[in-house]
Amino acid sequence: MECYIGIDLGSTTTKAVVMDEDYNVLGRGITNSRSNYDIAAGVAKHEALIDTRFMLFRNAMKNVAALGDKYEIFMDELERNFRLEQYLEQLIDLDETCTKASENTRYTEWGSDLTEALAGVFKRVALEAPDLFAPGAQRKSDFFRDIAGSQYSTISEEVAKEADTPFDVLLNIYDRSIIDVENRIYTETTNQNLMRALDRTLVNLPDLAPVADEVRTEVQKVLGIDLEETYVIGTGYGRARLPFSKDHIRSEILCHGLGAHIMYNDTRTVLDIGGQDTKAIQVDKDGIVESFQMNDRCAAGCGRYLGYIADEMNVGLHELGPIAMESTRKVRINSTCTVFAGAELRDRLSLGENRSDILAGLHRAIILRAMSILSRSGGVHDQFTFTGGVANNEAAVSALRELIKENYGDVTINIDPDSIYTGALGGSTFARRAVEGIPTEAVA
Amino acid sequence: MNIKDQASTVAEKEDSMWKQKEMINENYELLSTANERGQKVASTFVPGNINELLMCFDFARNFPETNALQNAMRKKSGGMIMEAEKSGHSEDVCTYVKADLGMMMKGNKGPTGLPMPDPDLLMLSYTGCFTFMKWFELVREQYPQCETAMLHVPYQADGNITKNMRDYVVKQLKEDIIPTMERVSGVKFDIDRLREYMIQSQKAEDDLVYVLQSAKNKPSPIDAYFGGVYYIGPIFTAFRGTTAATDYYATLRKEIEARVAAGLGPITPEGVMKEEKYRIVVEGPPNWTHFREFWKMFYDEGAVVVASTYTKVGGVYDNGFRHDPQNPLESLADYCLGCYTNLNLPARTDMLEKYIEDYQADGLLINSIKSCNSFSAGQLLMLREVEQRTGKPAAFIETDLVDPRYFSPANVKNRLESYFQMISQKRDRAA
Ligand code: SF4
């Protein structure tokens, strides 16, 4: 089937959206791989295509009447098992890569102890894998690097103690290997992983034995569908580095404007706060960009800034919002400058100010900066759509709501939990339009 | 185009370019030996410069803004600016000023490496930018013996030049500026000499206007911003009124006439621009530290600048004004009063609107310069107004004149590409 793909290469993550010929979103994919834009685009696209496959499964399984109310459980089990299979596959790769790395002469003094220790670590990491993907299991992140990294480090610390191999040597080997593994795309094995996941699922859900054959046939059918990459559009921060021809590249401003329009048809103003930049975009009723403004050369007040603050405070990026929400007092923060942020923060803490109050002030400062960019772009018009990583931060959202109300009165504010895909969504729409012959670029 | 034509275009292009380069180098050489030769030196600013008058007293002419931008194009301004900041000048001070002061602090070697002379006169024509005054106050601290002459040019607050304003400027010229120049130079004022120079100015101005207006052709044979800043070089600085400048413009005009006849697009550093996709009007000075890189972002996308306001800072000629040998002092007054920096926002807005119409442009791009308040104030208002009046899309980018730290290539490129795509999106829909 025809697939229209938009890829948004951001500064921190790369996102992809797959669309069918009727402009329906079929799948989404995201990766945090950063070493190389080409690979990041490949991984995100691959993930989005897998997501698409699952969408097709879901549709197909709905037709298996015999599944009945087991449908949800089945799909959930299948997806988790697939993730597990994917994880195991990458783990084997990581194991092999680490083993190879351990053969480097710099490690010879540890000899066979090291080989054994590594084998021990991976054996345990693999053993613990199914628990990580069990029903209801909480994972801090879905990125392989994050899951495998934390498992590896906990387990190798224990193994190091027992086996008398230095922990830092084990970590060092991991650090040398993970990037290679992360940069491999496993397109070939997807179908095998899916079939293995299906086997697991049927074992785990013995109730389904009577319909197993029917389910298998449906799955096979879906696997037989060729997902043809009909047209791909790249956008975002790293778009120029893609090996795409000009026809396949669109500005992220245009993609964001269109993406927001697709999500919320009545959008007139879009604010996107991403890792590296803040954009305010005005679009018309068709999602065509009327005007836009961006932060200038410095990334003050963008997502990156929150990253620095989190590091400075020694908390996770996702904890910032909730901590700020506990604030009871307004603190005015002067600088959204990433360079001075740390200093101002330490100053205030040493003055005895409360952590959550300071954080609330910081969030407000970011939004104030965004408000100025918004007003420079022509103000806020109904409806207003807020996108980008920072839109997931509740403290930022609450400051934004307050300031919008103060300055522009009652405006509908749209925030989609999947807003991180806005640019890619716009990209895939452009891809579809390009083939449909709706001109989006002068072909002068 | 056959190979022969191509060869001749390149040769012609090199003719005027080469001429200009020679003129600039010669002037730096002249300046470097002026003190020892006993020639008096005047420093003065581009907007409202009364070059012909300075020539009447045999002054060598030094333009600090030109030095700053020449240093920037040679990648030297960054260090100079830092030097000035080390001595206490704030981040927000106009970077032309800091580059100039920094150059002095670093041994006062000019862009070509030759020593810069001590000035004998600071000739301040005050045309709209307050910074000019502060700048010379700082320079004066370095040269306490040097005289300052200030020509106060009233701002065109109501958007026109009245008789009063003109008389006021002429009165200052007669009663203050000319006597000061006589005293400093020891040369007696001869108004016929001024008339002679103005005959040259006029010719050069005619040719310049032809060149700038050639951009009304489709395709435009010139880029009126990136190429434009070269075209205005001689006439905005030490050469207006000289035969060298007149020759330069005559040569340039011939080259452009040939391009028009051949239906050629502008010359870029990577050859003749093939396809003209976007016709843009630009407001605001260019960035000098990444000039080539900046330009490339345009021609790579097929964007050509058909008119710009920056090419009017040293004189607005396309509305018909010419230096007038019959009324030399009055025309000097009109020249100063009419400089772009001396125009109010409504007048600037009208000018931009007219450019978009006359040059059949696709829209307006503003390059907002971080450190130039003279240009930057009110730019967003102008942008909205022009957008509304013309219905053409406008966009805004931010860079700096000569501070390399304020040019973010990714950011600028992103905005430019978005803007060009925005234009084509709108164009497609209209079609
Ligand atoms: S502020 Fe602008 S106009 Fe004034 S001196 Fe500086 S660059 Fe020139």
What pLDDT, in 10s, does the model give residues B388-406? 999 999 999 999 999 998 8
pLDDT at residue A438, rounded to an integer = 65
- Among B119, B114, B159, CA closest to B136: B119
CA distance B131 to A252: 38
CA distance B153 to B333: 8
HSE-CB at A400 with a 13 A cutoff on CA atoms is: 29
Lowest-confidence region among A208-217, B73-82, B321-330, B385-394? A208-217
Q: What are phi and psi of B307, to 5 degrees?
A: -155, 150
Mean pLDDT of chain B: 93
pLDDT band at A339 (very low <50, low <70, confident <90, very high): low
Cβ contact B297:B399 at 8 Å: no
CB contact under 8 A, B406 and A240: no
Cβ contact A324:A360 at 8 Å: yes
Mean pLDDT of chain A: 87
**CATH of segment(s) B193-430:** 3.40.50.11900
CA distance B212 to B214: 5
Most confident of the following: A208-222, B4-18, B158-172: B158-172
Cα A411 vs. chain centroid, distance in angstroms? 29
Q: In what order do the strands lie in the sheet with A14-19?
A: A25-31, A14-19, A2-9, A228-235
Cβ contact B188:B57 at 8 Å: no
Of A172 and B12, the one with more pLDDT: A172
CB contact under 8 A, B406 and A297: yes
CA dihedral A118, A120, A123, A127 (to 10 degrees): -130
Q: What percent of chain A has a predicted confidence (pLDDT) above 90?
A: 39
Residue B250, judged by CB atoms within 10 A of its CB (0-12, 13-18, 19+), counts as middle
Q: Among the atoms of ligand 1, which is closest to the Cα of residue B313?
A: 3
**Which among A242, A252, A253, A438 is the top mutation candidate for probing chain B, defined by the most B β-carbons within 10 Å of its own β-carbon?**
A253
Q: What is the pLDDT of residues A274-291, one digit of tens each?
A: 877 899 999 999 999 999
- Which residues lie below 8 Å from residue A168, measured CB to CB, with a gap of 6+? none
CA distance B322 to B320: 6
**Other CB atoms within 10 Å distance of the CB of residue A184:** 13
Lowest-confidence region among A207-211, A220-224, B50-54, B360-364? A207-211
The answer on pLDDT for B191 being more than 90 is yes
pLDDT at residue A396, rounded to an integer = 92
Tokens 């959930």 belong to A76
**Ligand 1 and B124: CB distance under 6 A:** no
The answer on pLDDT for B92 being more than 50 is yes
CB contact under 8 A, A297 and B414: no
- Which residues lie below 8 Å from residue A53, measured CB to CB, with a gap of 6+? A27, A190, A194, A222, A223, A227
- Chain A contact set for B297 (CB, 8 A): none
User: How many contacts, defined by CB atoms under 8 Å, are there between A and B?
Assistant: 73
b/e map of B121-148 (b: 16 or more CB within 10 Å)? bbbbbbbbbebbeebbebbbeeeeebbb
Hey, what amino acid is at B35?
Answer: N
- Chain B contact set for A378 (CB, 8 A): 384
pLDDT at residue A335, rounded to an integer = 65
The answer on pLDDT for A125 being more than 70 is yes
Cβ contact B212:B228 at 8 Å: yes
pLDDT at residue A296, rounded to an integer = 72
What pTM, to 2 d.p., does this model score? 0.83
Of B323 and B130, the one with more pLDDT: B323
Q: Is A378 helix (H, G, I), strand (E, B) or coil?
A: coil
Distance from CA of B421 to the nearest CA of A (A): 7
pLDDT band at A209 (very low <50, low <70, confident <90, very high): confident
Instruction: Indicate where chain B has its CATH 3.40.50.11890 domain(s).
Output: 3-187
pLDDT at residue A338, rounded to an integer = 61
The answer on pLDDT for A265 being more than 90 is yes
Cis peptide before A383 (omega within 30 of 0): yes
SS3 content of chain A, % helix, strand, coil (to 5): 60, 10, 25
pLDDT at residue B403, rounded to an integer = 94
**Ligand 1 and B372: CB distance under 6 A:** yes
- Among A237, A269, A266, A274, CA closest to A390: A274
Lowest-confidence region among A54-63, A311-320, A356-365, B46-55? A311-320
pLDDT band at A441 (very low <50, low <70, confident <90, very high): very low
Cβ contact A144:A184 at 8 Å: no
pLDDT at residue B5, rounded to an integer = 44
Lowest-confidence region among A81-90, A161-170, B79-88, B166-175? A161-170
Helical spans, DSSP H, in B38-130: 51-56, 64-73, 77-86, 95-105
Q: What is the pLDDT of residues A168-195, one digit of tens each?
A: 888 889 988 988 888 888 878 888 898 9
**Ligand 1 and B359: CB distance under 6 A:** no
**Average of per-residue pLDDT across B174-194:** 97
Residue A386, judged by CB atoms within 10 A of its CB (0-12, 13-18, 19+), counts as buried
CA distance B349 to B364: 11
- Chain A contact set for B407 (CB, 8 A): 297
Strand locations in B284-417, DSSP E? 303-308, 363-369, 394-399
ipTM for the predicted complex comes to 0.73
Helical spans, DSSP H, in A205-284: 212-224, 252-263
**Ligand 1 and B131: CB distance under 6 A:** yes
Q: What is the pLDDT of residues B237-294, one digit of tens each?
A: 999 999 999 999 999 999 999 999 999 999 999 999 989 999 999 999 999 999 999 9
User: Separation of B82 CA from ligand 1 center, angstroms?
Assistant: 18
- Which residues lie below 8 Å from residue A311, measured CB to CB, with a gap of 6+? none
CA distance A342 to A338: 7
**Ligand 1 and B129: CB distance under 6 A:** yes
CATH numbers and ranges of domains, chain A? 82-182 (no CATH), 267-420 (3.30.420.40)
pLDDT at residue A245, rounded to an integer = 79
CA distance A126 to A151: 10
Sign of CA dihedral B85, B87, B89, B90: positive
Query: Does domain B3-187 match CATH 1.20.1560.10?
Result: no
Nearest alpha carbon, ligand 1 atom 3: B374
CB contact under 8 A, B418 and A290: no
Cβ contact A45:A242 at 8 Å: no
Chain A residues near any Cβ of chain B (below 8 Å): 237, 240, 250-254, 277, 286, 288-298, 376, 378, 439-442, 444
- Chain B contact set for A441 (CB, 8 A): 421, 424-425, 428
Instruction: Indicate where chain B has its CATH 3.40.50.11900 domain(s).
Output: 193-430
CA distance A179 to A144: 11
Most confident of the following: A131-140, A263-272, B7-16: A263-272
CB contact under 8 A, A288 and B426: yes
Cis peptide before B393 (omega within 30 of 0): no
The answer on pLDDT for B104 being more than 80 is yes
Chain B residues near any Cβ of chain A (below 8 Å): 275, 277, 302, 370, 380, 384, 387, 393-396, 398, 406-408, 410-411, 413-415, 417-418, 421-422, 424-429, 431
pLDDT at residue B10, rounded to an integer = 44
Q: Among the atoms of ligand 1, which is closest to the Cα of residue B132?
A: 5
Of B417 and A36, the one with more pLDDT: B417
**Ligand 1 and B341: CB distance under 6 A:** yes
User: Separation of B369 CA from ligand 1 center, angstroms?
Assistant: 9
pLDDT at residue B67, rounded to an integer = 96
pLDDT band at A264 (very low <50, low <70, confident <90, very high): very high
**Ligand 1 and B375: CB distance under 6 A:** yes
Considering only the beta carbons, identify the residue of B277, B380, B408 that sits closest to A442: B277
Q: Is A342 helix (H, G, I), strand (E, B) or coil?
A: helix
Rounded alpha-carbon distances, angstroms, from residue A190 to A271, B163, B390: 37, 83, 55
Rounded alpha-carbon distances, angstroms, from residue B21 to A375, B24, B42, B108, B125: 45, 5, 21, 21, 26
pLDDT band at B14 (very low <50, low <70, confident <90, very high): low
User: Separation of B372 CA from ligand 1 center, angstroms?
Assistant: 5
Hey, what amino acid is at B378?
Answer: G
pLDDT at residue A305, rounded to an integer = 79
CA distance B270 to A275: 35
The answer on pLDDT for A439 being more than 60 is no
CA distance A265 to A259: 10
Q: What is the pLDDT of residues A368-402, one digit of tens each?
A: 889 989 998 999 999 999 998 889 899 999 999 99
Beta bridge partners of A229: A3
Q: What percent of chain A has a predicted confidence (pLDDT) above 70?
A: 95
Cβ contact A411:A383 at 8 Å: yes
CA distance A233 to A19: 12
